[in-house]
Amino acid sequence: MADCLFCRVVAGAQPAARVLEEEHCVAFLDTRPLFPGHVLLVPRDHHVTLADLPRELVEPLFTTAQRLCRAVQAAQDAPGAFVAMNNVVSQSVPHLHVHVVPRRPKDGLRGFFWPRRKYTGSEEMEEVAAAIRGALRP
Of residues 41-100, which lie at the interface with a second copy (CB under 8 A)? 49-51, 53, 55, 58-59, 61-63, 65-72, 74-76, 78-91
Do the strands 25-29 and 98-103 form a parallel or antiparallel pair, or are they unpaired?
Answer: unpaired
Coil, strand or helix at 136? coil
Residue nearer to a second copy on the CB measure, 2 or 92? 92
**CA atoms of 39 and 104, how far apart (whole Å):** 16
> To the nearest 10°, the Cα dihedral for 63, 43, 36, 81?
-30
We find the least distance from the C-beta atom of residue 26 to a second copy, in angstroms, to be 12
User: In the set 9, 25, 28, 97, which binds a second copy (CB under 8 A)?
Assistant: 28
* Known catalytic membership, residue 97: yes
Instruction: Return the closest-CA partner of residue 105 out of 72, 87, 134, 82.
Output: 82
We find the least distance from the C-beta atom of residue 11 to a second copy, in angstroms, to be 19
We find the least distance from the C-beta atom of residue 97 to a second copy, in angstroms, to be 12
Asked whether position 14 contacts a second copy by CB under 8 A, the answer is no
96 within 8 A of 7, measured Cβ to Cβ: no
Q: Choosing from 38, 95, 97, 99, which is the catalytic residue?
A: 97
Catalytic residues: 97
